Structure 1
């Protein structure tokens, strides 16, 4: 019976989320078409609605910890689930993502990503895209914001080991800003490539910033240590809550 209820609640959440995405995307489209403020407002409305739907339908409470980054800054985030993006959209003032170019062709998502100022990256051409972004910010064609990159390059299941790539080092050095590590335990509740959503408390934690100006290898080591340690602690906390 518990399994049936889990499936039903997960199905209800999927209906609410994708239905909400369509409605919000259409309602905010006229504003988003002419202003990135409209795109930000639409994305935040969808993210906050989805957090509500997670709690209402799937029994997943969401929590933000740490100081929310402001201004132009780099974020190096653990990536376990689409929930990572939702949580970041819900609280960051001007979020922008380094994303796979293929996502541009996803209905609604791709159009809003462009208006948010996200950076579509072809595999193997990340440095070129990053430098173009920096030039646009300096020239005033793009507004500064919180630039989010997932340094492992893809979603990684809880406990899975995958190296941190050097693209974030390029961003860190090109932008000359601090880097905020971001830990999550979202994959415990919204697993990669799974229909099911498991109840509990999902947490995203903004950790103390790594200052600008460090050597690339030192910065990457600090980032990986901070993110992996904090994410493991959040998973352990979630496991204790289930016992």
Structure 2
């Protein structure tokens, strides 16, 4: 049964990701608010698919503070990172630089406010990450 649920999830979520990326690109041409709206809608699709197809439910323990803050998540998969986009007010996620190489999606991730990091770059990477963080703030 898990194999079937996974296959259905992949068909629905990844199949709909392509039109969402296209819509986000159009939204980005209009401005950041429409792009963010499409991206947050895509993340809600992930939540819906996870809940109704895979049976995964998110549970939050504790409270999320108001205002700007650093939120570090030790995650096992993209699920937690994507859910943070729903829970926080337009966060600036740190992501692997390789993800920014994905056609269209990578550009959108940077436009959203993503901060790419080259995990093999050492101190140079840290300086670039801090520079990008200042730009996003």
Q: TM-score scaled to structure 1, two decimals?
A: 0.50
The separation in 2 between residues aligned to 1:89 and 1:22, in whole angstroms, is 19
1:66: how far off? 2.6
The separation in 2 between residues aligned to 1:135 and 1:128, in whole angstroms, is 11
Report if aligned partners of 1:36, 1:116 keep a CA contact under 8 Å in 2: yes
Residue 128 of structure 2 aligns to a residue in which SS? helix
The separation in 1 between residues aligned to 2:30 and 2:67, in whole angstroms, is 23
Tell me what 1:52 maps to.
48
Residue 103 of structure 2 aligns to a residue in which SS? coil
Tell me what 1:193 maps to.
none
1:62: how far off? 2.3
Structure number having the greater strand percentage: 1
5+ residue gaps, structure 1, are: 137-141, 145-243
Tell me what 2:78 maps to.
82
5+ residue gaps, structure 2, are: none
The separation in 2 between residues aligned to 1:98 and 1:134, in whole angstroms, is 9
Tell me what 1:192 maps to.
none
Residue 64 of structure 2 aligns to a residue in which SS? coil
| 1:83-102 to 2 correspondences below 5 Å | 83-102=79-98
| 1:48-197 to 2 correspondences below 5 Å | 48-122=44-118, 123-124=121-122, 125-136=124-135, 142=136, 144=137
**Greater relative contact order (Cα 8 A, min sep 6): structure 1 or 2?**
1
Mapped pair 1:41 → 2:74 = no
The separation in 1 between residues aligned to 2:62 and 2:11, in whole angstroms, is 32
Structure number having the greater helix percentage: 2
1:70: how far off? 3.7
Larger Rg: 1
| 1:199-214 to 2 correspondences below 5 Å | none
Tell me what 2:7 maps to.
11
Query: How large is the RMSD of aligned CA atoms in angstroms?
Result: 1.9
The separation in 2 between residues aligned to 1:62 and 1:134, in whole angstroms, is 28
